[in-house]
Amino acid sequence: KPGIKRVTNCMRRNGITSNVRRKKRNRIKKREEYINDNLLKGRFDRKGKNEVWVTDTTEIKYGNSGHKARVHVVLDLYGRYALSYNISETETSSAVIDTFKRAFESEPDAHPMVHTDRGAAYCSMDFNNYLTENKCVHSMSHPGHPWENSPMERWWNDFKHIWMDHHPRPANLEELETLVQDAIDYFNRKRAYASKNGLTAEQFRNQAVSC
């Protein structure tokens, strides 16, 4: 039986080459993730503002071709008051951070617990480093447990069925932005809630200042 060296020399002399399938390299870069437990544990009723902020994103369509955008909202559990929003093409850590930057602009002295699901943007180290810099503790819902962030889920439900379903689909991003702004103004300052003794979310939230 000829050895490998002899076969190689024979192939070289006769101009014969071999097709060797190269081993594929794993091009998937390991994603750095932050995972934490559900520290909130369903304690949604808070005694004061900025104790706990919850957040999430939802997909909204606009335009005749059905373009999609992500709407991000940060909600203070005290009064279920929407502190900030952001609109982006996709759900990214930078879009989420921008939403929180807007919230901290209105509440610069806040250091709340922040509760999210385990979406990739919320698990990113960039977002969690940002929370650490702002002295925030991160609580996370378990996978497939939307009820662990039920106040945010209820807010989205009202946003879609009470607001979006009663307005024409926005034709472009500018119209979508205006519609989201008007929705937040409505749910914060105009809609009264029986659960808040007939007060709006803003009136209820302001009680924490006067008490």
Tokens 């279920």, residue? 80
Residue pair 56/82 in contact by the 8 Å Cβ criterion: no
Helix extents (H) in the chain? 4-13, 93-106, 120-123, 125-133, 150-158, 173-185, 201-210
CA distances from 108 to 15, 46, 116, 163 (A): 74, 20, 20, 30
Query: How large is the average pLDDT for residues 13-24?
Result: 55
Query: How large is the average pLDDT for residues 178-199?
Result: 92
Q: Phi and psi dihedrals of 140, rounded to 5? A: -135, 135
d(CA 169, CA 175) in angstroms, rounded, equals 9
Pairing status of strand 113-116 against strand 81-88? unpaired
pLDDT tens digit sequence for 125-182: 999 999 999 999 999 999 999 999 999 999 999 999 999 999 999 999 999 999 999 9
pLDDT tens digit sequence for 74-96: 999 999 999 999 999 999 999 99
99: which residues sit within 8 A by CB, 6+ positions away?
55, 72, 73, 74, 84, 85, 86
Domain boundaries, the chain: 52-210
What is the model's pTM?
0.82
Instruction: Tell the CATH topology of 52-210.
Output: Nucleotidyltransferase; domain 5 (3.30.420)
Helix extents (H) in 38-119? 93-106
Question: In this structure, which amino acid lies at residue 165?
Answer: D
CA distances from 210 to 110, 188, 206 (A): 17, 18, 7
